[in-house]
C-alpha cells in the first residue's frame, strides 16, 4: 500500500506509519517524563512508604509489607472516616449535579456569551468557584457563627429564635460543610454542563419544537440523552474532588465535633503530620486514592457503555 508523504511522494504505508509513531513518541516523551516526575514518582514513593513502619521521632523504619493495610481493616476510626467521606461525597455531588444542571439550562436559555449580559451572567455564576476554598470556608465560618452569624439572624427574623450552633452540633456540622461545598463547586458543574449544552446540535431541538414537543419532552428525549457523556465526566471530576476533600472541612470544623466530620484526608493528615506515623498515614492516603479510582472507574464504564450504545 502506498501513501503520500509530506512532499507528495509515495511511500510504503507500514514503514511510514512506524516512522510517524516513533516521532510521536519522541514528541510526547518530555511531557510524559514531566508527568512521571510530578505525579507518578510521588505516588510510587507513597506506595513504598505505606509498606513500611516508619516513625521518625523514634528512629523506627522497617519493612512490614501489607501490615499497615491489614491494620486498616480493624481500625474503627478508618471505617468511621470512610462512612463520613462517602456520605459527604454522595450528598454534595448529588446536590451539585441537579443544581448545576438547572443553572446551566437557565444560562443557556437566557444568555448568550457574545452579549454583554451573557458574559456578565457567566462571570457572576463562576465567582464562588473562583474564590479560594480556604477563603470560602472562612467566610462560611462567619456565616455559621451561632451568636452573630448571618444565617442565625435570618432564621430569627422568620421566627426561629433558638440559635443553632451549626459547627458544634454533630447533627448539623457535616451538613453545614456540605452546604458550603455545594455553594463552592456547583458553578464548576454548571460550566461543564453549559459547555455540553452549547455543543449540542440545535437542529434536533428545533425539529422537536416544530413537531410539537414541549420543553420537558425535548429535554427528556433529546437534551438529557445527548448530555449524558458530559454529565458522567462532571461526575468523575466532582466525585474525585469530594472524596479527597480536606481544606473546606478542616477550616470549618477541623474534623470535629468528636471526629464526626473527619474525612479520610483529614485522618491521613493527622496521622502523617501530627502523629508522624508515616507508614500508616501513607496507607490511609493510598486507600483514599484507591476509593477515588474505583468510583471514577465506575463512571468511566458507564461512559464507555453510553458511547458504545450511541455508535
What pTM was estimated for this model as a whole?
A: 0.83
d(CA 191, CA 130): 12
C-alpha span between 253 and 266 (Å, rounded) = 11
Which domains are seen in the chain, by residue range?
Answer: 2-39 (no CATH), 67-134+174-310 (1.10.3720.10)
Number of H helices, E strands in the chain: 14, 4
Residuewise pLDDT in 10s, the chain (311 residues) = 444 444 444 445 554 566 788 888 888 888 888 887 887 888 888 899 999 998 888 888 899 989 999 999 999 999 999 999 999 999 999 999 999 999 998 888 776 555 666 677 777 888 888 889 999 999 999 999 888 888 888 888 887 766 678 888 888 899 999 999 999 999 999 999 998 988 888 777 777 777 777 777 778 878 888 888 899 899 999 999 999 999 999 999 998 888 899 999 999 999 999 888 999 999 999 999 899 889 888 888 887 887 776 66
**Tally of CB atoms within 10 A around 242:** 24
The dihedral built from the CA positions of residue 154, 155, 161 and 166, taken in this order, carries a sign that is negative
61: left (phi over 0), alpha (psi -120 to 50) or beta: beta
Amino acid at each position: 500500500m502506498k501513501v503520500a508523504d509530506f512532499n507528495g511522494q509515495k511511500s510504503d504505508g507500514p514503514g511510514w506509519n512506524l516512522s510517524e509513531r516513533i516521532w510521536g513518541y519522541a514528541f510526547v516523551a518530555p511531557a510524559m517524563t514531566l508527568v512521571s516526575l510530578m505525579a507518578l514518582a510521588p505516588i510510587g514513593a507513597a506506595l513504598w512508604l505505606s509498606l513500611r513502619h516508619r516513625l521518625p521521632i523514634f528512629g523506627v523504619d522497617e519493612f512490614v509489607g501489607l501490615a499497615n493495610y491489614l491494620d486498616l481493616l480493624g481500625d474503627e476510626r478508618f471505617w468511621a472516616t470512610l462512612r463520613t467521606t462517602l456520605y459527604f461525597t454522595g450528598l454534595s455531588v448529588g446536590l451539585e449535579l441537579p443544581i448545576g444542571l438547572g443553572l446551566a439550562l437557565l444560562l443557556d436559555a437566557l444568555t448568550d456569551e457574545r452579549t454583554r449580559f451573557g458574559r456578565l451572567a457567566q462571570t457572576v455564576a463562576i465567582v464562588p468557584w473562583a474564590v479560594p476554598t480556604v477563603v470560602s470556608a472562612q467566610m462560611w465560618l462567619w456565616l455559621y457563627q451561632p451568636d452573630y452569624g448571618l444565617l442565625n439572624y435570618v432564621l430569627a427574623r422568620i421566627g426561629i429564635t433558638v440559635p443553632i450552633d451549626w459547627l458544634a452540633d454533630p447533627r448539623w456540622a457535616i451538613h453545614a460543610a456540605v452546604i458550603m461545598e455545594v455553594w463552592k463547586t456547583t458553578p464548576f458543574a454548571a460550566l461543564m454542563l453549559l459547555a455540553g449544552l452549547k455543543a449540542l446540535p440545535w437542529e434536533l431541538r428545533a425539529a422537536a419544537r416544530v413537531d410539537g414537543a414541549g420543553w420537558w419532552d425535548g429535554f427528556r428525549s433529546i437534551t438529557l440523552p445527548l448530555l449524558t457523556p458530559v454529565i458522567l465526566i462532571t461526575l468523575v471530576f466532582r466525585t474525585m474532588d469530594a472524596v479527597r476533600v480536606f481544606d473546606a472541612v478542616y477550616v470549618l470544623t477541623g474534623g470535629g465535633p468528636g471526629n464526626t466530620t473527619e474525612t479520610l484526608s483529614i485522618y491521613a493528615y493527622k496521622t502523617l503530620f501530627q502523629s508522624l506515623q508515616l507508614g500508616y498515614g501513607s496507607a490511609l492516603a493510598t486507600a483514599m486514592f484507591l476509593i477515588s479510582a474505583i468510583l471514577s472507574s465506575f463512571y468511566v464504564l458507564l461512559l464507555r457503555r453510553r458511547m458504545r450504545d450511541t455508535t
